[in-house]
Amino acid sequence: MKQKKIIIVGAGIAGLTAACYAAKNGYTVELFEMHSKCGGVCTGWNRKGYYFDGCLHWLVGAVKNKAGHSMWNELGLFKNNGAIQHTEICTMINEDNSRFVVPAYIDAFERNLLQRYPEDTAVIREFCEAVRVFTTMRIPDKPRELMKLKDIFKLMKNMKPFFPYFKRFGKSSVGEYVERFKNQELKRYLLNIIGVKEFSLLAFFIVLSYFNDGNAGWPLGGSERLATALELQCKKSGVTIDYNCKVKKIITEKRRAVGVELEKGTEKHSDIVISAADGYATIYDMLEGRFTNKKINDRYKKAKLWQPLIMISLGLTSGYEGITHADIHILDKPINIGSISVNGMWVKNYFFDASLQTGSRSVVSVFFPSSFSFWDKLSKNRDAYKREKDKIKMDIVNYLETRYPGIKAKIKVVDIATPITTFRYTGNRQGSFEGWLLTPENFAKQYKKTLPGLKNFYMTGQWVQPGGGVSAVAKCSRDLVQILCRKDKKEFKAQESYDYKR
Ligand SMILES: Cc1cc2nc3c(=O)[nH]c(=O)nc-3n(C[C@H](O)[C@H](O)[C@H](O)COP(=O)(O)OP(=O)(O)OC[C@H]3O[C@@H](n4cnc5c(N)ncnc54)[C@H](O)[C@@H]3O)c2cc1C
């Protein structure tokens, strides 16, 4: 029988993963990527001899025998432990430079909080117990779309320990929950771990449970290396990847997707089309809004996105010991960085991964959220855009010098990426770095991978998997290929393959 051909739009983690599994399952796969490299938002870049990582803080599943690891093994990554587990999630730094270390392990986390905030003992215990309970949660291997009644019963049985938590906290956000603490400092610390009030409380428990389980590690070599390792697996599996090829349109005939039209004007045909690109661009530009409904339209009009980030990366001539892998600066009053009012920021020191450094040099990065509309307007005037970026670079260097004396003299390279950079390189709506914000409303939801009235077309990635995240979008693509195999009456194959090597 002739192999079916699949065209995939977008070589981010979701597109690469879908391509890899599809090729391993006997499909002919062609992947179109508008950028000159793979990875999408999971990326890094080289500037004047320094590697600046633009994405990962932590990755689920990089460690042997932990949840999510078998998927990475099937994809040929992390055969042996390929990640560094930090014993601290982060260090909170107050304006007076006092510090509070947030341990990754929940017992230590609880001990520290109880010692410091005895007035909140009952709520601290309740909170930490919830994190412990969620440590045992496992994501089912089978996609929801393929579950039969017996799978649903099994799932319900496995989920039983979590039902009381779903019932009690399912509608709560982190912002609402922290109001139960009496101590203001504790409230602020817990809010700043994720940094978004609207974030789902249940999702927060799960994130902390990954840290507790030692399953939220930094993949050695960083984000770019992870993406290029996946790219290599795709190529070894026979996937064709075409870079600098922006898809302009998804071609449809009689309500079936039959291929794509590239911006260059060429048409490419296939039996199935998968979009792993930005959701809005897929539905409203590539498909001209012809296959949608009220629910989808409302979501794209109203649902909250992760706010885009500004990232300032610094190449230092030598190491700087006073910064941890994740310092979170909490400011009592906002400060101005360029024209932006900043309430707090992440300062990351990449000293812990020797494979990123050249000789004694090191890299520190600063991240904080910023409004897309501000940058969108500014970017229409190239000089004004450049001036603002230069001002931000200068203000950040001066700010860091007040907090980390002596750092300024070590800085050799300063690089800045704005929400416009994210949008320009990846097409993500409003420069969002992880798609839809994970709120109580969309917690544990998956949006449909198909569009109403269109056959042979599927979506994968962070626009159908609320909350995004590298492991989550990779699993979403694995699920999709299982669905395709079932439709084509094939047995889904996912055996382990190669080692994780650059
Ligand atoms: C700063 C930052 C920190 C993060 N931290 C973490 C973390 O610690 N842990 C974690 O798990 N996740 C993290 N994430 C999120 C995670 O990286 C993303 O959720 C995930 O990588 C999204 O993958 P994706 O393939 O769905 O989308 P994308 O990466 O957006 O990929 C889409 C791809 O499609 C391409 N494309 C778009 N339009 C077209 C077109 N018309 N034609 C051809 N190609 C097109 C784009 O160029 C891109 O390559 C972070 C992200 C950022 C930016």
Reported as a single tens digit per residue, the pLDDT across 351-405 is 999 888 778 899 999 999 999 999 999 999 999 999 999 999 999 999 999 999 9
Sign, CA dihedral 229-230-234-240, equals negative
**Residue of the CA atom closest to atom 31 of ligand 1:** 12
Q: Are 378 and 363 in contact (CB under 8 A)?
A: no
What mean pLDDT do residues 239-243 have?
98
* Sequence-ordered list of residues with C-beta below 8 angstroms from that of 239, at least 6 positions apart, any chain: 19, 20, 22, 23, 29, 30, 31
Q: Which atom of ligand 1 is nearest to the CA of 428?
A: 30
Ligand 1 midpoint to CA 167 (Å): 32
Q: Is the CB of 53 under 6 A from ligand 1?
A: no
Confidence of residue 420 (pLDDT cuts 50, 70, 90): very high
Q: Which atom of ligand 1 is nearest to the CA of 16?
A: 25
Task: Give the integer Cα–Cα distance in Å for 196 and 198.
Answer: 6
What mean pLDDT do residues 473-481 have?
98
Ligand 1 midpoint to CA 383 (Å): 28
Q: Which atom of ligand 1 is nearest to the CA of 223?
A: 17
**Residue of the CA atom closest to atom 1 of ligand 1:** 55
> Scanning the structure block, which residue is given the tokens 């979506």?
459
**Residue of the CA atom closest to atom 48 of ligand 1:** 40
Q: Is the CB of 13 under 6 A from ligand 1?
A: yes
Question: pLDDT tens digit string along 275-317?
Answer: 999 999 999 999 999 999 999 999 999 999 999 999 999 999 9
* Sequence-ordered list of residues with C-beta below 8 angstroms from that of 104, at least 6 positions apart, any chain: 85, 86, 87, 88, 89, 211, 212, 214, 216
**Residue of the CA atom closest to atom 17 of ligand 1:** 42
Q: Which atom of ligand 1 is nearest to the CA of 60?
A: 11
- Tokens found for residue 480: 């999709």
- Tokens found for residue 276: 């792993």
Confidence of residue 496 (pLDDT cuts 50, 70, 90): low
The pLDDT value recorded for residue 242 is 98
Ligand 1 midpoint to CA 96 (Å): 36
Ligand 1 midpoint to CA 247 (Å): 17
- What are the residue ranges of helices labelled H in 264-333? 279-280, 294-302
To test ligand 1's pocket by mutation, which of 470, 471, 478, 480 has the most ligand atoms within 8 angstroms of CB? 470
The pLDDT value recorded for residue 499 is 40
The pLDDT value recorded for residue 335 is 96
The pLDDT value recorded for residue 500 is 36
**Residue of the CA atom closest to atom 26 of ligand 1:** 461
Burial of residue 277, with CB atoms counted within 10 A of its CB: 0-12 exposed, 13-18 middle, 19 or more buried: buried
Q: Is the CB of 246 under 6 A from ligand 1?
A: yes
Task: Give the integer Cα–Cα distance in Å for 29 and 347.
Answer: 40
Going by C-alpha positions, the residue among 294, 296, 293, 374 that lies closest to residue 341 is 374
Task: Give the integer Cα–Cα distance in Å for 341 and 200.
Answer: 26
The pLDDT value recorded for residue 411 is 98
Q: Is the CB of 392 under 6 A from ligand 1?
A: no
Between the alpha carbon of residue 415 and those of residues 47, 48, 237, 326, the distances in Å are 8, 10, 36, 19
Longest dimension (CA), the chain: 70
Q: Is the CB of 469 under 6 A from ligand 1?
A: yes
Cβ of 265: how many Cβ atoms within 10 Å? 7
- DSSP assignment of 332-391: EEEEEETTEEEEEEEEEE-TT-GGG--TT-EEEEEEEE--HHHHHHHTTSHHHHHHHHHH
Sign, CA dihedral 434-440-446-450, equals negative
Sign, CA dihedral 499-216-420-286, equals positive
Q: Is the CB of 59 under 6 A from ligand 1?
A: yes
Mean pLDDT, the chain, rounded, equals 95
In the chain, the percentage of residues whose pLDDT exceeds 90 is 91
In total, the chain counts a number of residues equal to 502
Sign, CA dihedral 215-218-221-222, equals positive
**Residue of the CA atom closest to atom 46 of ligand 1:** 426
Does residue 409 have a pLDDT over 50? yes
Does residue 478 have a pLDDT over 70? yes
The pTM of the whole model exceeds 0.85: yes
The pLDDT value recorded for residue 80 is 63
Strands 44-47 and 28-32 turn out to be unpaired
Query: Domains (ranges, CATH) in the chain?
Result: 5-43+70-77+222-304+436-487 (3.50.50.60), 105-213 (no CATH), 309-429 (no CATH)
Burial of residue 360, with CB atoms counted within 10 A of its CB: 0-12 exposed, 13-18 middle, 19 or more buried: exposed
**Residue of the CA atom closest to atom 7 of ligand 1:** 56
Helices (H) and strands (E) in the chain, counts: 16, 19
> Scanning the structure block, which residue is given the tokens 């892998």?
325
DSSP element (H, E) containing 230: helix 222-236
Q: Is the CB of 423 under 6 A from ligand 1?
A: no
Task: Name the DSSP class of 285.
Answer: I
SS3 268: strand
Q: Is the CB of 34 under 6 A from ligand 1?
A: yes
To test ligand 1's pocket by mutation, which of 31, 32, 35, 42 has the most ligand atoms within 8 angstroms of CB? 42
Ligand 1 midpoint to CA 20 (Å): 17
Question: pLDDT tens digit string along 184-219?
Answer: 999 999 999 999 999 999 999 999 999 999 999 899
Q: Is the CB of 480 under 6 A from ligand 1?
A: no
The angle, 0 to 180 degrees and rounded to 10, between the axes of the packed helices 201-212 and 106-116 is 110
Task: Give the integer Cα–Cα distance in Å for 212 and 109.
Answer: 9
Does residue 19 have a pLDDT over 50? yes
Q: Which amino acid is at 306?
A: W
Question: pLDDT tens digit string along 34-82?
Answer: 999 999 999 999 999 999 999 999 999 988 888 888 899 999 888 766 7
Among the residue ranges 28-32, 174-178, 358-362, 392-396, the one predicted with the least confidence is 358-362
The pLDDT value recorded for residue 81 is 61
Tell me phi and psi for residue 360, to 5 degrees: -90, 0
